[in-house]
Structure 1
């Protein structure tokens, strides 16, 4: 994904404000792997970023390797996990020949990266590097929701997917990757029907899709069978200022500001009380008495305007909207599981 590979991309901020993956998700994956008699020697994480999912494999596998095409991400992962017993290597998921030998991996995962893959190339590589009874588990989380305020969902969709450059980032995502994410990986082909996959020493014998989406599966997609739908597990209670920090990790926002740098100079006067809580002139400030990072909430760029739109809607609904008050945020997850024979 080109934006994350740029030297100017803030990998540390990405690491700080991206949501963490639920333990229940890893339990599902480990149970699937265990049921298929898979070994627990080597695991690898494709598109590992700063190692958020990679570290969850520790303690389950003797060797854990994170792989990412972006050198800034690899550098940030190595710094973050310097003493974590994890290995990080630069490499592309479409060609792992320089980082993973054939039939060398027992579990291959990918978290929030698969929507950027060329699956016609990735699935054969998955089949090549997995050992017999090895597992592939790839997932992505789709558009976030405010758990207690469904009335805010249209605002979120308009900002994320709309085409008005004054109010939306829809035109500034890299496509088709973002579309595949919005479609919850339903566009990813079934590898068991691909000849290039099946010729790899038996190929992938089993493939299934699971969705942690609750009753609100995206309306624009064909409804899966009830057995595929599980409750939402990826949910956090965070400060409103931290939600703004998450918005600032979006690659589309980075691309938008490259196109419209003057937007960073705009001012939004709504919620004047925010000025009392803002460390003005900084991207963020670390509270030395804790691990908390205080995001700068001043200014009026497109991310701040959207953030204030959401707060106005929550205020209208009688909810808490102060900078340091808590809001519940959730993300539906799509999980792909495959087994090597």
Structure 2
């Protein structure tokens, strides 16, 4: 998590390249919340809010507060606020556009007093792609403190992306993300133990009743929107179809790959990799887009990210031959398995 707190971290580029969370996920959380006795729709909090992508969808609540330890992330979220939706979805009762307020505060998820969050003052707490950093011996007691009776806490994270049209690329993705070869793998350069927690679909996060003195958090559900991925390790009854997917250009996938925190760590250790000679595969890449003045994702160079990106395209060609569409501006579908933990306060 320290990568995102550095002054050199570019939060705007990060925001533009990350996938968005699907409406089906919010529908699931809102339906869970709606059916709890005493559920209210006044205040929601997004922990580790980053650039605000997740909290923008919490508009059914009257007041939405994003909390993050990174000043860069908070600045980017404030800049993005103008684009947040303000219209009511009809989930909450009596909610109008003027009721919607998006605020941002720096703070720690495990100590929300520092961010001014009072006892029993919150109806919904979420954390998107952040909960693997939390200290759950402190986190669950803090959720019990800040949630109102009938309040909901929902935490989710997504794992390695997949290319459903090119399944032959999956071993290459796993080797790049989890392997140890310094020429083609980022495995050793992730921050631990957070990385291992979301690789295992959050199953290493303890339940509230496993944490001492936590007695009022219940109705726990663990749901895995993983579809056909990792079926051998996930409980069948809790595994649902994939809901997180995005159609993008191959070029956009490269932009996403560059947001990985492990890339920054890798390049701190291997400075020479950033200026490695151009990878000559797919020479047509450099001929695309020269006629436009619009800045786009750079596809040149030969660093570890570009090498992996071109390995994926080569695997797609090997798997489908001429049917594969692997030009830098060709479209492809990307999927992410996603795990959700949700509880309520009684």
For normalisation by structure 2, the TM-score amounts to 0.91
Kept after mapping to 1: 8 A contact 2:108/2:114: no
Give CA deviations for 1:215-263 in whole Å, capped at 9, x if unaligned: 22264x3x31x33111000011100000000000000001111111110
Q: Number of residue pairs matched?
A: 323
Q: After TM superposition, give the deviation of residue 303 of structure 1 in Å.
A: 0.2
Give CA deviations for 1:121-144 in whole Å, capped at 9, x if unaligned: 111111110000100000000110
Picking from 271, 283, 296, the partner of 1:272 is 283
Could you say if the C-alpha distance between residues 328 and 44 of structure 1 is closer, same or farther in structure 2, counting changes exceeding 3 Å? same
Tell me the equivalent position of 2:225.
212
2:277 matched to 1:260? Answer: no
Query: Once superposed, which parts of structure 1, at least 4 consecutive aligned residues long, lie more than 4 Å away?
Result: none
Q: After TM superposition, give the deviation of residue 296 of structure 1 in Å.
A: 0.2
Picking from 282, 304, 307, the partner of 2:306 is 304
Tell me the equivalent position of 1:290.
none
Picking from 194, 211, 227, the partner of 1:177 is 194
Kept after mapping to 2: 8 A contact 1:242/1:294: no
Unaligned runs of 5+ in 1: 280-284, 288-292
Instruction: List aligned pairs for 1:219-238, cutoff 5 A.
Output: 219=232, 221=233, 223-224=234-235, 226-238=236-248
2:161 matched to 1:161? Answer: no
Could you say if the C-alpha distance between residues 286 and 336 of structure 1 is closer, same or farther in structure 2, counting changes exceeding 3 Å? farther
Kept after mapping to 1: 8 A contact 2:180/2:186: yes
Give CA deviations for 1:129-176 in whole Å, capped at 9, x if unaligned: 000010000000011000111111000000000011111000100001
Q: Whole-Å Cα distance in 1 between the matches of residues 18 and 241 of structure 2?
A: 21
Could you say if the C-alpha distance between residues 310 and 326 of structure 1 is closer, same or farther in structure 2, counting changes exceeding 3 Å? same
Tell me the equivalent position of 1:66.
66
Picking from 229, 240, 244, the partner of 2:254 is 244
Tell me the equivalent position of 1:282.
none
Q: After TM superposition, give the deviation of residue 23 of structure 1 in Å.
A: 0.3
SS of the equivalent of 1:30 reads helix
Picking from 179, 188, 193, the partner of 2:205 is 188
SS of the equivalent of 2:113 reads coil
For normalisation by structure 1, the TM-score amounts to 0.92
Unaligned runs of 5+ in 2: 85-100
Kept after mapping to 2: 8 A contact 1:132/1:340: yes
Q: Whole-Å Cα distance in 2 between the matches of residues 69 and 247 of structure 1?
A: 23
Q: After TM superposition, give the deviation of residue 197 of structure 1 in Å.
A: 1.8
Q: Whole-Å Cα distance in 1 between the matches of residues 102 and 187 of structure 2?
A: 36
Kept after mapping to 2: 8 A contact 1:268/1:299: yes
